Amino acid sequence: MDPRTVYFSEIITLLAVVLYYFVMGARVGMLRGRHGVKAPATTGHPAFERAYRIHCNTGEQLIAFFPALWLATILFHGQYWLPAAFGAIFLAGRVLYMQLYTADPEKRTAGAFTTMAGILGLIVLAAIGLVQNWGAMG
Amino acid sequence: MDPRTVYFSEIITLLAVVLYYFVMGARVGMLRGRHGVKAPATTGHPAFERAYRIHCNTGEQLIAFFPALWLATILFHGQYWLPAAFGAIFLAGRVLYMQLYTADPEKRTAGAFTTMAGILGLIVLAAIGLVQNWGAMG
Amino acid sequence: MDPRTVYFSEIITLLAVVLYYFVMGARVGMLRGRHGVKAPATTGHPAFERAYRIHCNTGEQLIAFFPALWLATILFHGQYWLPAAFGAIFLAGRVLYMQLYTADPEKRTAGAFTTMAGILGLIVLAAIGLVQNWGAMG
């Protein structure tokens, strides 16, 4: 493993955690308070529901993203910056998704597809890396 | 760590990501479009709701599965194929759950229990591994 | 990396998986059966809804917690017990959250803030660690 590949993926991981937890998650809590949506309800005001779904959907994406990013980081041998580049595409996709969805849920498609492109790229790198590492088993 | 144990767990991790993201997740998006369930709603058509719950529930399982698989992979010293074997039971349980739940949510129990057996096995291996690695602390 | 730091984080990880999967998750399944909440519904009885939201919310927290704990474990150079100490604060916060929320959802705040303090501490350690490891890139 190239130490730069690992370092870049550590930065991407930290940014993803901060975006998910301290940007998206904090907004859910704030809007729950502002619009009086009492727990355990997860519906009741359109602005809260959008923030809640943005947070939920990003959590679902991260469940796939973190393992895909780190499989690519550990397994792939090639351009050292490629795993982090797909990670950056993923992050850009999530920020775009958040902005588009907040404005109008029907307009979120470009953000969703950018996210998907980032994860798809990482899965391809991980699969290539598994083949490249086949010899390490012998 | 036996390199085969690591390699097998990498394969299981990649398969789990593909199943969750490109099989289950893609179905939610497709059925949302087909049945006109407009975001941010997560209810509105039985087929969509089943696909959505299968995806959600599998995400909840993966949050426990990935750490349990990798704790077992890193910590357990014994049969090198055991962590991946419980991982394969988990994956089989998720495919079964998806098929049973899609046919009739009330019939999903066998899939849920197979999943749970996989995770329980990994947690036991991880706990044994923690005891086996106690000496490494000294 | 200090082997004690890694070992303590492995223990914290295993405890988090057991709490999430075998305490909180098992309660959702049990209350679904007891109160006859038929899948795919996730509402229908207050006790079930509370258990369901506790489990969901903890899953959302773990998506950020596991990466933050392991970034701090791998990257931070300082007191060897600090990452696990913030991990223990996170776990205590989740147990408190579960107890407070079960009694009355409006009283959950202290549990939510304790959880957040644990994750915030880990994110700060990870960020310090990234700066400390900058030289490893050269």
CA distance C51 to C30: 10
What does residue A47 show for φ and ψ, rounded to 5 degrees?
-65, -40
Q: What is the pLDDT of residue C137?
A: 65
A68/B17 touch (CB, cutoff 8 Å), yes or no: yes
CA distance A100 to B135: 53
The second-level CATH assignment, the architecture, of A3-129 is: Up-down Bundle (1.20)
| Cβ-proximal residues to A22 (8 Å cutoff; 6+ apart), any chain | C123
Name every chain A residue with its beta carbon within 8 A of the beta carbon of B73: none
pLDDT reading at B138 higher than 80: no
Higher pLDDT, C138 or C124: C124
pLDDT reading at C138 higher than 60: no
CA distance B76 to B8: 14
Distances (CA, A) of A108 to A17, B31, B35, B45, C86: 21, 17, 18, 21, 36
Mutate to test the interface with C, among B63, B69, B122, B125 (most CBs of C within 10 A): B63
Q: Which of A4, A13, A42 sits opposite C71 (nearest CB)?
A: A13
At CB < 8 A and 24+ separation, what contacts does B46-54 make? B46/C40, B49/C40, B50/B101, B50/B102, B50/B105, B50/C40, B51/B24, B51/B27, B51/B102, B52/B28, B52/C40, B53/B101, B53/B105, B53/C39, B53/C40, B53/C42, B54/B24, B54/B27, B54/B97, B54/B98, B54/B101, B54/B102
Q: What is the pLDDT of residue B137?
A: 65
3-state SS class at A86: helix
Q: What is the pLDDT of residue A137?
A: 66
Q: What is the pLDDT of residue A135?
A: 76
CA distance C103 to A100: 38
Q: What is the pTM of this model?
A: 0.96
Mean pLDDT of C106-113: 94
Smallest CA–CA distance, residue A22 to chain C, in Å, is 9
Q: Which chains touch B (3 or more CB pairs under 8 A)?
A: A, C
CA distance A53 to B106: 27
Name every chain B residue with its beta carbon within 8 A of the beta carbon of C55: 60
In tens, the pLDDT along B31-52 reads 999 999 998 899 999 999 999 9
CA distance C138 to C134: 8
The structural domains of chain B, with segments of one domain joined by +, span 3-130
Mean pLDDT value across chain B: 95
With a cut of 0.85, is the ipTM above it?
yes
Mean pLDDT of B7-27: 97
Q: Which of C49, C106, C123 sits opposite A17 (nearest CB)?
A: C123
User: Percent of chain B at pLDDT above 90?
Assistant: 93
Q: Show which residues on chain A lie within 8 Å of chain B, measured between beta carbons.
A: 49-50, 52-53, 59-60, 63-64, 67-68, 71, 74-75, 101, 105-106, 108, 112, 119, 123, 126-127, 130, 133, 136-137
Spans in chain A with pLDDT lower than 50: 138
Mutate to test the interface with B, among A60, A73, A131 (most CBs of B within 10 A): A60
Smallest CA–CA distance, residue A64 to chain B, in Å, is 5
CA distance A105 to A126: 32
Name every chain A residue with its beta carbon within 8 A of the beta carbon of C103: none
C67/A66 touch (CB, cutoff 8 Å), yes or no: yes
pLDDT band at C90 (very low <50, low <70, confident <90, very high): very high
Question: Least CA distance to C106: which residue of chain A?
Answer: A39
Q: What is the pLDDT of residue B17?
A: 98
As a residue count, chain C comes to 138
Class of domain B3-130: mainly alpha
Instruction: Name the CATH code of domain C3-131 (choices 3.90.1580.10, 1.20.120.550, 1.10.3720.10, 1.10.15.40).
Output: 1.20.120.550
Question: Least CA distance to B17: which residue of chain A?
Answer: A64
A137/B3 touch (CB, cutoff 8 Å), yes or no: yes
Cβ B97 vs Cβ B108: under 8 Å: yes
In tens, the pLDDT along C28-59 reads 999 999 999 998 899 999 999 999 999 999 99
Q: Which of C7, C16, C56 sits opposite B133 (nearest CB)?
A: C7
Name every chain B residue with its beta carbon within 8 A of the beta carbon of C29: 112
3-state SS class at C35: coil
Q: Residue B2 corresponds to which tokens in the numbers above?
A: 């036996």
Q: What is the pLDDT of residue A6?
A: 97
C7/B137 touch (CB, cutoff 8 Å), yes or no: yes
Smallest CA–CA distance, residue C114 to chain B, in Å, is 21
